Amino acid sequence: MPRSKLQRKVIAPPRFKGFKPYGCVNHDENPIELLYEEYEAIKLADYKLMNHQEAAVLMGVSRATFARIYEKARRKIARALVETREIITISGNSFSDQKWFLCNSCHSRFTIPRKIEKKCCPLCRSLKIETIFDRTSDMRFEI
């Protein structure tokens, strides 16, 4: 019987909804779904240059689980590059300490403290905001 997927912590969702290749013809077929936790693994290991143990602690998973997430992310990105496929990001099995919003007027991404009643963009004051990541509860950590 397969184990249920445990949630992986991300500090923030990616700053984009996806990537598209250009200069090729077949980039709009079968986009590759990169999970938020896979993006986070790439960010922590390859951008912030953390070792797997440090990154695993931040994401609330074992080092072995982090290594699996990281490997899946690298393979997906490699496949997207070689096969000239789009990448779209989806929340997957992740959660964050904060609820994240996107402003559809100025395209900024932000969080709103719970004490603020009126939800508007902190940069342009637009009310055209959407929730992009709302997984702050049901936190479970892998031991």
**Closest approach of Zn ion to the CB of residue 125, in Å:** 7
Q: Applying CB under 5 A, which residues contact Zn ion?
A: 103, 105-106, 121, 123-124, 126
CA dist list (Å): 123 to 48, 102, 108, 131: 27, 11, 8, 16
Nearer to Zn ion among residue 66 and residue 101 (C-beta) = 101
Nearer to Zn ion among residue 5 and residue 107 (C-beta) = 107
Nearer to Zn ion among residue 11 and residue 106 (C-beta) = 106
d(CA 53, CA 14): 22
Hey, which residues does 19 pair with through a beta bridge? Answer: 87
**Closest approach of Zn ion to the CB of residue 128, in Å:** 8
Nearer to Zn ion among residue 98 and residue 110 (C-beta) = 110
**Closest approach of Zn ion to the CB of residue 46, in Å:** 30
Distant-in-sequence, close-in-space partners of 38: CB < 8 Å, separation ≥ 6: 69, 70, 72, 73, 76, 92
**Closest approach of Zn ion to the CB of residue 118, in Å:** 14
Nearer to Zn ion among residue 93 and residue 105 (C-beta) = 105
Q: How many CB atoms lie within 10 A of CB 58?
A: 16
**Closest approach of Zn ion to the CB of residue 101, in Å:** 10
